[in-house]
Amino acid sequence: MGFGGNYRVRERGQFDPASKEPYRISRSKIDLFLECPRCFYLDQRLGIGRPDMPAFSLNNAVDTLLKKEFDVYRVKGNLHPLLKSYGLSAVPLKHKDLEKWREARRAGIEYLHKGTNLSVRGGIDDIWEGKDGKLIIVDYKATSKKSELTLYDSYKRQVEVYQWLFRKNDFPVSDTAYFVYVNASTDAEAFDAKLEFKVELIPYTGDTSWIEPALHNIKKCLLSEEIPPKGECDYCPYREAAGKALLARNEGSKKKTGRSTRARKKDDSYEKTPSLF
Ligand code: SF4
């Protein structure tokens, strides 16, 4: 269902409580649930997802270039100078499924969690292999800031889900994941058609113990007929205020007499607008 612009309510692919088929859930939807169960429910049960954001093209460019760079060392089987400078003895993993695991939208690494019948999927940036044969989850991040780089909770959860997915697929996985964090400097005198980056390697010890309880909570939420309560962001009050104002305006207009048929039609469309409040 469209509302003008490009926004569409999805008519397929939502969770169906009557279905016995596994339900596929991405790493980012797990994060959405943890951020706000109501937004998650609107998306996954009712097909009302958040509007798409414009792609962060510069971040994507950094990701692509880092992948290419580490792929060179993958082919040679050599230690990357960044890892060497941090005293980390690991090489980019060679594996036939690597490209599939990197495809977040179409493939990724997947595991069917039998307790919930949720099939969890995520797309990785890279994997290195330590001397002990364990896989090291790697995520690339790009920013531009003068202060210390931040490992947000969502970043931590992201690599923890990947660690969990690889373990569930019977791979030995190191508890330590790494962020290759690139920080664009704004100290240059002029732009001069180039950006300079400082690259840091940030280790993080993952804890995956929250994942299975979260999957059970997600399943409970998906099966429920009750829409979870509002979270704390400002958009729900904004939408509620807008919905109430439109309804009040509509009610007021209906009481007036002598309106044109065209105006009536326009007002009637407000009644047909589904409201979640
Ligand atoms: S508070 Fe409302 S708009 Fe904000 S994340 Fe939750 S459901 Fe979405």
Torsions phi, psi of 244, nearest 5?
-65, -40
Q: What is the pLDDT of residue 263?
A: 52
- Going from N- to C-terminal start, the domains of the chain cover 57-222, 234-277
Supply the pTM of this predicted model: 0.86
What gap in Å lies between CA 84 and CA 182, rounded to an integer? 17
Please give all residues whose beta carbon lies within 6 A of any atom in ligand 1, as ranges: 36, 38-39, 230-231, 233, 235-236
At 185-199, the pLDDT tens digits run 888 877 878 888 889
Angle at which helix 27-35 crosses helix 153-168, to 10 degrees, equals 140
What gap in Å lies between CA 20 and CA 33, rounded to an integer? 22
Q: What is the pLDDT of residue 104?
A: 79
Quick check: 50 pLDDT over 60? Answer: yes
The whole-number average pLDDT for the span 173-177 is: 97
Q: What is the pLDDT of residue 267?
A: 46
DSSP codes joined into one string, 241-257:
HHHHHHHHHHHHHHHSS
| Ligand 1 atom, smallest distance to 231 CA | 1
| Beta strand pairing call for 135-143 and 176-185 | parallel
Quick check: 264 pLDDT over 80? Answer: no
Quick check: 4 pLDDT over 80? Answer: no
| 237 alpha carbon – ligand 1 mean position (Å) | 9
> What whole-number percentage of the chain has pLDDT above 90?
60
Q: What is the pLDDT of residue 80?
A: 92
Torsion sign over Cα 139, 142, 147, 153: negative
- 258 vs 106, more confident: 106
Torsions phi, psi of 232, nearest 5?
-105, 5
| Nearest CA residue ID for atom 4, ligand 1 | 233
| Nearest CA residue ID for atom 6, ligand 1 | 231
| 138 alpha carbon – ligand 1 mean position (Å) | 30
Given a contact cutoff of 8 angstroms between Cβ atoms, the answer to whether 159 and 139 are in contact is yes
SS3 assignment for 21-34: CCEEEEHHHHHHHH
Q: Which residues pair with 112 in a beta bridge?
A: 119
| 34 alpha carbon – ligand 1 mean position (Å) | 12
What 3-state class would DSSP assign to 182? strand
What gap in Å lies between CA 219 and CA 14, rounded to an integer? 13
Quick check: 44 pLDDT over 90? Answer: yes
At 67-85, the pLDDT tens digits run 999 999 999 888 999 999 9
The whole-number average pLDDT for the span 9-21 is: 92
Quick check: 151 pLDDT over 70? Answer: yes
Given a contact cutoff of 8 angstroms between Cβ atoms, the answer to whether 26 and 106 are in contact is no
Using pLDDT thresholds of 50, 70 and 90, give the confidence band for residue 156: very high
Q: What is the pLDDT of residue 257?
A: 54
| Ligand 1 atom, smallest distance to 238 CA | 3
Using pLDDT thresholds of 50, 70 and 90, give the confidence band for residue 269: very low
Nearest to 158, CA basis, from 109, 231, 85, 106: 109
| Ligand 1 atom, smallest distance to 38 CA | 7
Q: Where are the alpha helices (DSSP H) in 169-260?
A: 211-223, 235-255
| 161 alpha carbon – ligand 1 mean position (Å) | 23
Quick check: 118 pLDDT over 50? Answer: yes
Sheet bearing 196-205, strands edge to edge? 90-92, 126-130, 135-143, 176-185, 196-205
Quick check: 55 pLDDT over 50? Answer: yes
| 42 alpha carbon – ligand 1 mean position (Å) | 9
